[in-house]
Structure 1
Amino acid sequence: MTPEFVVGFARQAIEMTLVIALPMLAVGMVVGIFISILQAATQIQEMTLTMVPKIVAIFVALLLAFPWIMDKMITYTTNLFLNLPNYIR
């Protein structure tokens, strides 16, 4: 294993993690911005008003994106295990 291979392998794992987390992060950001605009317009500064909708929206996004996430994880893991003999060399 060369240092370039290890860095590339770590980079691929980090990219996969970011791609998998992207749907939930995007939904949380959009809901957070919407709630912030709503709070600024109505001058209601309640902390539960920001947290509860974000938690619910992220949970719904996770449920909707779960099949896609599992497909990405299974593909990544399958490729990892199939290429394991090549990595050991």
Structure 2
Amino acid sequence: MSEQEALDFARESIFVLLKLGLPIMMVGLIVGLTIAIFQALTQIQEMTLTFVPKIIVVFLSMLVFLPWMMDVLFDFMALVADHIINIQ
């Protein structure tokens, strides 16, 4: 494996990581901002008000995105397996 192939593999791995994590992080960000705006408008400063809904929504979004995440991981692992097979 040359240096360029190793860098390409590392770059693809990072893109897969971002592709898998970004939707769930964006859902958590949107819920967090919504709750923060609600707290600012109502002046309710309860700490658990931010954590519990975000945990629930992130968990539900993981369930929703799981089939797509498995497809992305399957495609990446097929690419890795093809690369391992074709190493000379």
Q: Give your verdict on TM over 0.5.
A: yes
Counterpart check, 1:11 vs 2:8: no
Match of residue 70 from structure 1 = 70
Runs of 4+ displaced beyond 2 Å: none
Counterparts of 1:10-49 in structure 2 under 5 Å?
A: 10-49=10-49
Alpha-carbon distance in structure 1 between the residues aligned to 2:79 and 2:11? 15
Identity %: 42
CA apart distance, 1:83: 2.2
SS in 2 for 1:46: coil
CA apart distance, 1:85: 2.8
CA apart distance, 1:78: 1.2
The residue type paired with residue 36 of structure 1 is A
Aligned positions, number = 88
Match of residue 80 from structure 1 = 80
The residue type paired with residue 24 of structure 2 is M
Spell out, residue by residue over 1:17-71, the C-alpha distance to the aligned partner (whole angstroms, 9 max, x if none).
1101111101000000000000100111111000000000100100000000001
CA apart distance, 1:82: 1.8
Counterpart check, 1:56 vs 2:51: no
